[in-house]
Structure 1
Amino acid sequence: MLRRSFITLAASAAVLAGAGTSGFAQEETIKLGASAPKSGPLAGGAAMTHWPNIQLWMKEVNDAGGLKVGDKQMKIELVEYDDKTSGEEAIKNIQRLATVDEVDFLVAPYSTGLNIAAAPAIARYGYPQIATTAATDGVKEFAERWPNSFWMLGTSTQLANGIVDTISKMKEKGDIGNKVALVNVADAFGLELIGAAKPALEKAGFEIVYETSYPLGTQDLAPVISQAKAAAPDAFIAFSYPGDTFALTEQAQVQGFDVPVFYTGVGTAFPPFAKRFGDAANGIMGIGGINSSDENVKGYLDMHKADLGSDPDFWASATTYAGLQILGQAIEKAGSLDKAAVVEAIKTGTFDTVIGPVSMPNNVNEKVWTVGQWNNGVFEAVAAEGMPVAAEPAKKSGW
């Protein structure tokens, strides 16, 4: 009996001794929370852009031994939830991550609408919100209302002006005429972009010959393409989300909607888009793009392919990864897990990222790629603000 007790006590002592060395080190982790779609209309986009880059960044950080926080080297663990493409669910998840899971930091939600919906809750708990998949003209107002929020993907006006400026150049060269068909998904993203694009198009001398919107999650978009085709435009512009981006393009191909400029929104930059449409994807334009000849971007593309076995999307993926790099570098700069100190570090710092140096003194990244175009398997930037582009825009020639 005494021997058995001694063995038990000795074993317990060994465990406690281990807890003071390697076991204790394992407990020194940064708990990261993430809430984004795994179901609902935006699940496909999040699966392409959001979740893989969290995995990639965590792998790179943890493989390197973690983040240096003061005199500690701290690895990262993830707590994640499905917001079901619902603002209400996103808010509940943020509250749970903050109060039940007690995470140290959050990854910003996916999409414009969910970032805006969750912003008050994120601010309430003091977390830095680095929004990398939200495009809105409200960034300056939001940054003032929620000083913990940072906006990296550009404004609706920047993105809308990108395509308007692009087709204006093409019109001046004589590549296209002045008739435009304009379509948008009826949520925050689409409504803001259409609101910025219409006056810009009219100012540039374009005639809007067809215009319509449709609810998020609409399945049958054949009538939209049919009516747009009947209007005989020179440019078709759709501010769409991934599901509708694919559906609109499929219908254009089925109906033989040959138009010199065919532009769709989120999802155009996804590698599965080029795979689905093959050679027919050549010449299709969309939001974003990248400059794949840039060494930073090229390194990111190679890393994504090597570590995850797939290509990223050729727009917001790199920005999403860059946002996580900024969070990590800001934590190291602050030297602690104090959220307010990290917010201040983001406000005042310049960060080395896969999209180049990024600083956000007014909580907004103003250097963005705005329009990309498929060319033999790469979605290259053809328009940008403050960033180098990869190519000049060209007319699309048939399906």
Structure 2
Amino acid sequence: MKRRSLMMGAATAAILAAGITAAQAQDTIRLGAAAPKTGPLAGGADVTHWPAVRLWVHLTNEAGGLQLADGPALIELIEYDDQTNPQQAIQAAQRMATQDRVDFMVAPYSTGLNLAAAPIFSQLGYPQITGTNVTNQQPELSAQFPGMFFVLGRTGVMAEDTAQVLVDLRESGEIGSRVALVNVADAFGIEMAGISRAVLEENGFEIVYQTSYPLGTQDIAPIIDGARAAEPDAFIAWSYPGDTFALTDQAIVQNFTPSVFFTAVATAFPSYYGRFGEQAEGVMGMGGVNPDDPAFQAFAEAHTELSGQGPDFWASASTYATLEILGQAIEATGSKDRAVVMEYLQDNSNTYETVLGPVQFNEMNDNERYWTVGQWQDGVFRGVAARGRDGVSDVILKDGWD
């Protein structure tokens, strides 16, 4: 399949050369999207989710829409705020399907909200191509919800690769075996912490401190107090955006300086480096990208031009890729009939060309090629571990907060 250009001018020129303009589109595809605009995850969605969704709609429409069998169709985007509330995510999906009668829906933002909405997506027959859902339950979920697809990766692999980074550093004599492990107490954090502890212990690491905290916790100081007192070589936090920033703030205030400092979601945000500057150097987190890849550079340029802010260095591109996949499936079938498009998506012989590179789902609707661990190096969050992706960078050791 041919990759849809991310460069606005090039896409428009190509369509005009073919004699098709946005004005000639005779049909409309209604696309529904519900994600946080308020609540604890609103900040993360404002970076990772909404700009990527709006960018794909904008570029698709500027290029003349999606090509159906009977002509081009423009995308009409309908947005709702799920308030970072699982019940609101479910109600929004029901509303979009039954009242707005959308043709397709964008998957929610975050693991927990995707899991909450999965039954209603399945019941109503909507593909759910997830770009911010990380879980080890993919085999069970895809069996229960055959229209649920996974682009971002599995928790087990994320935990394994994080542990392997520590193993490599230990084997090179750069760190010891003492680890502090903390997590946000929601579906993502609980699952990640359980798997991570098991993998670390299997590799001979000692968990010298472990705790969890509720989503939206304001006082992070006691967590850093406890971790600092345990004198770990590595600090690993399976955190969400608000606590990722708060944990880093407190570590700096308390001069908590383990050789490895790892926070999860939002570590890859440009605003993380904007907030902490050179103090972010050496901080590790989930995800990463190859920032030297021309496809990512084009995506970042278009993202910044439209939204006024750069994408994050992980799940922004994954979210965008979910819509590239949906668009390519619609165009390949020439149809906006959900059953027809679903059947195409479930054919795991199909490959999609995306900003991430080629994506192909296996029999469990899982993409097996993704980034797992990243690190801030010279002001860029570079991928330092990945499955099936090129451009992996070497790990550097963090040297305090100075």
Change (3 A) 1:23 1:141: closer
Q: Distance in 2 between matches of 1:24 and 1:388?
A: 40
Greater shift, 171-180 or 26-35, is seen at 26-35
CA contact (8 A) 1:293 1:390 kept: no
Aligned residue in 2 for 1:364:
366
Change (3 A) 1:144 1:310: same
Gaps of 5+ in 2: 1-20
CA contact (8 A) 2:25 2:64 kept: no
Q: Distance in 1 between matches of 2:134 and 2:362?
A: 18
Deviation at 1:26, TM superposition (A): 6.2
Aligned residue in 1 for 2:303:
304
Aligned residue in 2 for 1:294:
293
Greater shift, 260-269 or 383-392, is seen at 383-392
**Residue 286 of structure 2 is aligned to residue 255 of structure 1:** no
Q: Distance in 2 between matches of 1:33 and 1:227?
A: 44
Deviation at 1:25, TM superposition (A): 5.7
Deviation at 1:294, TM superposition (A): 2.0
Q: Distance in 2 between matches of 1:218 and 1:307?
A: 33
Q: Kindly report which structure 2 residues correspond to 1:37-116, keeping only aligned pairs within 5 A, or say none.
A: 37-116=36-115
Residues 188-217 of structure 1: per-residue CA shift (max 9 Å, x gap): 000111111111101111111000000111
SS in 1 for 2:346: helix
Deviation at 1:398, TM superposition (A): 1.1
Structure 1 residue identity aligned to 2:377: N
Structure 1 residue identity aligned to 2:45: A
Q: Distance in 2 between matches of 1:23 and 1:369?
A: 36
CA contact (8 A) 2:262 2:284 kept: yes
Aligned residue in 1 for 2:312:
313
Q: Distance in 1 between matches of 2:30 and 2:392?
A: 38
Q: Kindly report which structure 2 residues correspond to 1:1-399, keeping only aligned pairs within 5 A, or say none.
A: 28-348=27-347, 349-362=350-363, 363-399=365-401
Q: Distance in 2 between matches of 1:167 and 1:301?
A: 30
CA contact (8 A) 1:134 1:153 kept: yes
Q: Distance in 2 between matches of 1:47 and 1:26?
A: 30
Q: TM-score scaled to structure 2, two decimals?
A: 0.92
Deviation at 1:302, TM superposition (A): 2.3
Deviation at 1:236, TM superposition (A): 0.2
Deviation at 1:388, TM superposition (A): 2.1
Greater shift, 199-208 or 299-308, is seen at 299-308
SS in 2 for 1:312: coil
Q: Distance in 2 between matches of 1:327 and 1:279?
A: 39
Greater shift, 293-302 or 233-242, is seen at 293-302
What RMSD over aligned residues (CA atoms) do the two structures have, in Å? 1.4
Q: Report which of the two structures shows the higher radius of gyration computed on alpha carbons.
A: 1
SS in 2 for 1:54: helix
Structure 1 residue identity aligned to 2:277: G
SS in 2 for 1:305: helix
SS in 2 for 1:181: strand
SS in 2 for 1:134: coil
Residues 235-258 of structure 1: per-residue CA shift (max 9 Å, x gap): 000000000000000000000001
Structure 1 residue identity aligned to 2:74: K
CA contact (8 A) 1:383 1:389 kept: no
CA contact (8 A) 2:22 2:62 kept: no
Runs in 1 of length 4+ with deviation above 3 angstroms?
22-27
Change (3 A) 1:147 1:302: same
CA contact (8 A) 2:22 2:64 kept: no
Structure 2 residue identity aligned to 1:374: W
Q: Distance in 2 between matches of 1:292 and 1:390?
A: 10
SS in 2 for 1:366: coil
SS in 2 for 1:73: strand
Structure 1 residue identity aligned to 2:369: K
Structure 2 residue identity aligned to 1:371: V
Structure 2 residue identity aligned to 1:186: A
SS in 2 for 1:220: coil
Q: Distance in 1 between matches of 2:51 and 2:302?
A: 12
SS in 2 for 1:74: strand
Residues 309-357 of structure 1: per-residue CA shift (max 9 Å, x gap): 3210000000100111000000001111111111122222211100001
CA contact (8 A) 1:292 1:390 kept: no
Q: Work out the number of aligned pairs and report it.
A: 378
Structure 2 residue identity aligned to 1:289: G
CA contact (8 A) 2:47 2:312 kept: yes
CA contact (8 A) 2:22 2:65 kept: no
Change (3 A) 1:258 1:30: same
Q: Distance in 2 between matches of 1:54 and 1:389?
A: 26
Q: Distance in 1 between matches of 2:362 and 2:228?
A: 45
Structure 2 residue identity aligned to 1:323: T
